[in-house]
Chains A and B, each alone.
Chain A
Amino acid sequence: MYELIIVGAGPAGMTAAVYAARKRLNTLLISDDVGGQPLTTVGIENYMGYQFIEGPELMQKFEEQVRQFPSDVKVQVGQKAESLSRMDGGFEVKTDKSEIHRAKAVIFATGKRPRQLNVPGEKEFLGRGVTYCAICDGPLFAGERVAVIGGGNSALEAAEGMIRIAQHIHLVSLTPLTGDQILIDKVSGASNLTVFLKYEVLEIKGKGRVEGIRIRDLKSKQQRELDVGGVFIEIGLIPNSEAIRAMTTLNRIGEVEVNCANETGVPGLFAAGDVTNVPEKQIVVAAGEGAKAALQAHRYLQRLK
């Protein structure tokens, strides 16, 4: 039995692991990947100490720092925590590989993932015109008509990137545009961009690959079909909190509720980073929260002795 299991190896989880190692806690760090969301962040200019660094490079540095403590922190990658339950004297973490790990305390730092539209065609055409990574797949749609779904910063950045690449972009948003004004200004003058505000996507259509989408005006209920070869879905993120949903309190949008000491309502269960209700989803914030959670877990374990 470990003293501590940290679930998730993004900025929060890996920082927690370093702090746990420095307290000589016998720790297991378990995650499906190493790096989390920054792996898909191209340029980072607001993590102190680096005027510019790419996300994967920063996460590699985090990982190297965690792996400096092999006798204290065991790192297990390629497994996802499926469920967490209480047991006598601690917790049991069950993974998607059907392994069970036990610890006296747990830090849950599983981050967020892209939200899906949940419309017909979305799953079927993933990798065949539907994408959640505009920066990855944008160049594949050179000279084509595409749709960008969403109205926040990610959607606007995707639209801006495609202005130079695609023949035409349809920007479809459920709400008025909510992204930063600087991004709205960048896209609003483009001659090859049409904006559909207060429209919902009903269906992604095609044969073997995406050929179009069907959208509906929220007010008039009138439907329209748009011929597009690519659909870029950028409608925000959802917390990876399913594994502890039954155990602790989540807020309205599924984030784990914690107090300022990263405690959930369950003694011994802490949470940190983007999966929590702590405002501002930033790498520097997540790292700080991970540190706090580990120090708090250490205090909790001291009290058990």
Chain B
Amino acid sequence: MIREVKIYTTPGCPYCKMAKKFLGDNGIKYQEFNVAEDKIARDEMRNKCSSLGVPTICFDDEMLVGFDEAQLREKLGL
């Protein structure tokens, strides 16, 4: 069971919208952080996840950068 899904996004990012739609369509609750505005979240994404790309999707011990539906489906066990 996945405990918590965090998704780091920017407003202009089409892949972020696709990723959120995918999570929503599959009934997965997530917490979204707009890293264009939220500097604390941006630093968290950069330092904790070593990621400099959006969407960054974190859950359990997984961290995915970009939206790859097949990969996300596999990691989420869908």
Q: Which residues of A contact B (CB under 8 A)?
A: 33, 39-42, 54-56, 77-78, 126-129, 131, 133, 135-141, 208-210, 230
The CA-CA distance from A256 to B70 in the complex, in Å, is 28
User: Which residues of A lie under 8 Å from residue B24 when comparing CB positions?
Assistant: none
User: Which residues of A lie under 8 Å from residue B73 when comparing CB positions?
Assistant: 78
B13 touches A140 (CB 8 A): no
B16 touches A136 (CB 8 A): yes
Q: Main SS of the interface on chain A?
A: mixed
A39 touches B18 (CB 8 A): yes
Q: Total A-B pairs in contact (CB under 8 Å)?
A: 71
A127 touches B52 (CB 8 A): yes
Task: Say yes or no: is B6 at the interface (Cβ < 8 Å to chain A).
Answer: no
Minimum CB–CB distance for B6 against chain A, Å: 16
Minimum CB–CB distance for A193 against chain B, Å: 20
Given that A127-B52, A127-B66 are contacting pairs, would A140 and B12 also be in contact in the complex, using a CB cutoff of 8 Å?
no
The CA-CA distance from A208 to B18 in the complex, in Å, is 28
Q: Mind listing 7 A-B residue pairs with CB under 8 Å?
A: A56-B14, A136-B53, A136-B54, A137-B10, A137-B54, A140-B36, A140-B45
User: Which residues of A lie under 8 Å from residue B5 when comparing CB positions?
Assistant: none
The CA-CA distance from A210 to B51 in the complex, in Å, is 11
B13 touches A136 (CB 8 A): yes
Task: Say yes or no: is B46 at the interface (Cβ < 8 Å to chain A).
Answer: yes
A135 touches B65 (CB 8 A): no
Given that A136-B13, A140-B42 are contacting pairs, would A208 and B50 also be in contact in the complex, using a CB cutoff of 8 Å?
yes
Minimum CB–CB distance for A67 against chain B, Å: 14
B14 touches A128 (CB 8 A): no
B52 touches A129 (CB 8 A): yes
Within 8 A of A (CB), among B27-62: 35-36, 42, 45-46, 50-54
